[in-house]
Amino acid sequence: QVVLVESGGGTVQAGGSLSLACAASGRTVSRYAMAWFRQAPGQERTFVAATKHTGATPTYAESVKGRFTISRDNAKNTVYLHMNSLKPEDTAVYYCAADNSIITSSLRQPNQYDHWGQGTQVTVSS
C-alpha cells in the first residue's frame, strides 16, 4: 500500500511562487506514474501535471505549462510541484496521485490512479 502525504501549500500573492511536496511511503515509487491534480470549490478535480516514471518526459495541463514543473527525488521517494507566476485561478486544493499500471494516454484521468494524498490548499491572492 502506498501512502502519499502532501505538504507545502499556503497563501501567496499573484505572481509569486510555491513548491509542493508529495512524500510516499509503503512502496518505492520510482517506477510509478506520479501526478498532481487540483480541485477548486464546486469544481471537478482536474489534471495539473504527471510523470509516468523516472526519466519520462512530464505532461502538463495547458493552463500551467511553462509555469509549473513536476520533478522527482527517488532518494527521498518524493515528487514535487514547483509553481511559478501563480494566478488567482490556480487557487485550489492540490492532490498527489500515484499508480503503477497506468498507460500514457490515461495520465490525465483521475479515476485511473489508485493512490491519493489528502490534499494541500493553495491560495493565490490578487
Residue pLDDT, tens place only, 20-73:
999 999 999 999 999 999 999 999 999 999 999 877 899 999 999 999 999 999
Computed over every residue of the chain, the mean pLDDT equals 96
pLDDT given at position 47: 98
Asked whether 70 and 51 are in contact (CB, 8 A), the reply is: yes
Please, which residues bridge with residue 123 across strands?
11
- The count of C-alpha atoms lying within 13 angstroms of the C-alpha of 121, restricted to the half-sphere facing its C-beta, is 5
Strand partners, 97: 35, 116
Residue type, 67: R
C-alpha 82: how far from its chain's center?
A: 9
What amino acid is encoded at 10 in this protein?
A: G
Residue 60 is which amino acid? Y
